[in-house]
Structure 1
């Protein structure tokens, strides 16, 4: 019986070893100095800018006003807001600002449906690229100028640097740190080591013809994951623009965090299963970026790893103490990887205090797994622009 337990523990150890080494490699990649620059260009592309918005009356007007301050010719970009279930006065204000407002009537609500509606409604207009932003996103006046330079340099898929625009609760602050860890590992770390960056749902740019061909194929709640899948199938490298910021509102309480992660986890599982079916083709065609993405999509949320491994070490301490040393070493490597991935500006007193709330976040993410089934088929809305009490105290 003891021998069987050792065998099972060894099998159990393998995926954790792969996941944590994966984090460590790309965390080190993040710390590699690398200068990324694009030459100035006189050519100015025409952009379709889409803001999918569901019940976003509290934030969408501010976001649009922010975007319209671009130091880029206004006749070279069109802003489209897909205004789902928003108030008439909000839509009137948006139209007054000069943007195109689309009122959807689709049966199955999703961000993919909103994007497809915007593409369909602008079929007769000429654009070079599409920019996707969330209703709560704010950008700086040079946003289009910067992505235009990158696009002119041959980049067909671009992910900007999404950062937190609020840190008013411990949950929001920790969510902002989590976003930056993702940027470090899955974006800058990857690009520094020669692999495409991961998409993050907003602050994205795609060559318009490719986007028009692919978007009708996408209908899931995890449109960014599916877009990544198709980018990798087509061999398109996603560039990460670390210096081009998109300010994104972070969730402010654990309930919203749990609902948001439910959608993310469901999308990740579905895309992993879709990709895994093609594993033979991946090796046959030597599509190593797709293999990298398959490993990435197999990884559970980091907070689950942070909380589960110590519990497992405690179980081993009781049942098989000799086995705990390799797990302790593995956990130490995981902590080193996370420390490397956290940007230096977060090394402060508030971060230390906020980390005391991680057990509560761990429980919130565990609850997310119980709602994965609904997260696959039901649109889960994350409220924005409302001040919320943080119940983590």
Structure 2
């Protein structure tokens, strides 16, 4: 029995050690000062700006109205809204604001399908790059000007800094902190250490010809992860813009959080398996950026690590106390990495109080794993624009 426990403990310890060291390295990388400046753009490029929208009547008009305030020549960008299952009054309001409204008829709904529809509709227009935003996203008036400066410098893939638009519930507040940890570790920390940033689903820019070639190959519910995979295959570096903000609405209750994570977890597993199938090629071609991403895609949600390790330590305390201590050290390193990754502005009393809700978030994420199969093939919609209260069930 004791031998079996030692074997199980050893099997668990190796991946947890890799994952937590990974977090720690890039959390430290985030704290390394880096002066990233881009020269003033020589050319003003033309942009296709796509807003995929499914039942987003509550937020999409505000998002388009906000985007129209850009300090960038209006004739150099076109806004396309893929208006899936939206009201006629909403579509009319969007057209009045100057957006091109596409009403899809595809049978299999996904964000990838919406992006492909927009690309097909504008195929004959001379755009230089495509910008992808979610229906609830708001940006500042200098967004395109800043993006243009980076694109003009030669960057073919860009990820802006997505931040929380709302913190009206504890779930939304914690979701905002979680996004900032992702920004610190998977984006700024990576770029500071010379690796490409991770994509995050919106606030993204791609060179138009590359995007037109790759997007038709993508049909899954995890289009951002597949786009990352193709960028890494071709050795294209994704630049992260920490000072260019995209305001994104955070989920406001645990049921929506569970549904959202179900889709994310399913997409991560599928992309990991796709990348892992080419592991030998990764080593042969020395594609270290892809290897780094393979490790990242193998990591379960952080809340699972936060909840599982204490439970496992308690089990070891009962059955084999001698094995417990290295796990305690590992957990302390994990907490240190998260502490480094959380931006300083979140070191407040509210954050401390909100952390008391983490056990309920842990349960919600566990529920997500039970729906992974449907998350692979079924479009999961996260409602926006509604004020909701937290509930426990």
- Pair in the same fold by TM > 0.5: yes
CA distance in 1, matches of 2:389, 2:351: 19
CA distance in 2, matches of 1:314, 1:5: 14
| Kept in 2: contact 1:139–1:245 (CA 8 A) | yes
**Matched positions, count:** 393
Superposed displacement of residue 285, structure 1: 0.4
Superposed displacement of residue 46, structure 1: 0.2
| Post-superposition CA distance 1:275-314 (Å, at most 9, x none) | 0000000000000000000000000000000000000000
SS at match of 2:383: coil
SS at match of 2:163: strand
SS at match of 2:147: helix
Superposed displacement of residue 151, structure 1: 0.3
| Post-superposition CA distance 1:115-162 (Å, at most 9, x none) | 000000001100000000000000000000000000011100000000
| Kept in 2: contact 1:316–1:323 (CA 8 A) | yes
| Kept in 2: contact 1:357–1:392 (CA 8 A) | no
Q: Which residue of 1 aligns with 2:235?
A: 235
Superposed displacement of residue 5, structure 1: 1.9
| Kept in 2: contact 1:165–1:247 (CA 8 A) | yes
CA distance in 2, matches of 1:294, 1:386: 36
| Kept in 2: contact 1:269–1:297 (CA 8 A) | yes
| Kept in 2: contact 1:130–1:206 (CA 8 A) | yes
Q: Which residue of 2 aligns with 1:90?
A: 90
CA distance in 2, matches of 1:339, 1:203: 26
| Kept in 2: contact 1:196–1:289 (CA 8 A) | yes
SS at match of 1:175: helix
| Kept in 2: contact 1:58–1:385 (CA 8 A) | yes
Q: Which residue of 1 aligns with 2:341?
A: 341
- Give the TM-score normalised by structure 2: 0.99
CA distance in 2, matches of 1:103, 1:41: 35
Gap regions ≥5 residues in structure 1: none
CA distance in 2, matches of 1:365, 1:99: 37
Superposed displacement of residue 41, structure 1: 1.7
Residue 88 (structure 2) pairs with residue 115 (structure 1) = no
Q: Which residue of 1 aligns with 2:388?
A: 388
CA distance in 1, matches of 2:24, 2:105: 46
CA distance in 1, matches of 2:10, 2:99: 58
| Post-superposition CA distance 1:350-376 (Å, at most 9, x none) | 000000000000000000000000000
Superposed displacement of residue 191, structure 1: 0.1
SS at match of 1:49: strand
Superposed displacement of residue 7, structure 1: 2.1
Q: Which residue of 1 aligns with 2:304?
A: 304
Residue 314 (structure 2) pairs with residue 329 (structure 1) = no
Q: Which residue of 2 aligns with 1:34?
A: 34
For 1:189-338, what aligned pairs fall within 5 Å after superposition? 189-338=189-338
| Post-superposition CA distance 1:44-94 (Å, at most 9, x none) | 000000000000000000000000000000000000000000000000000
For 1:126-165, what aligned pairs fall within 5 Å after superposition? 126-165=126-165
Q: Which residue of 1 aligns with 2:70?
A: 70
| Post-superposition CA distance 1:177-224 (Å, at most 9, x none) | 000000000000000000000000000000000000000000000000
Superposed displacement of residue 390, structure 1: 1.2
- Give the TM-score normalised by structure 1: 0.99
Superposed displacement of residue 392, structure 1: 4.7
Q: Which residue of 2 aligns with 1:172?
A: 172
CA distance in 2, matches of 1:214, 1:112: 11
SS at match of 1:72: coil
Gap regions ≥5 residues in structure 2: none
Q: Which residue of 2 aligns with 1:104?
A: 104
| Kept in 2: contact 1:225–1:271 (CA 8 A) | yes
SS at match of 2:32: coil
Superposed displacement of residue 2, structure 1: 1.2
CA distance in 1, matches of 2:315, 2:288: 37
Superposed displacement of residue 42, structure 1: 3.1
CA RMSD in angstroms comes to 0.7
SS at match of 1:11: helix
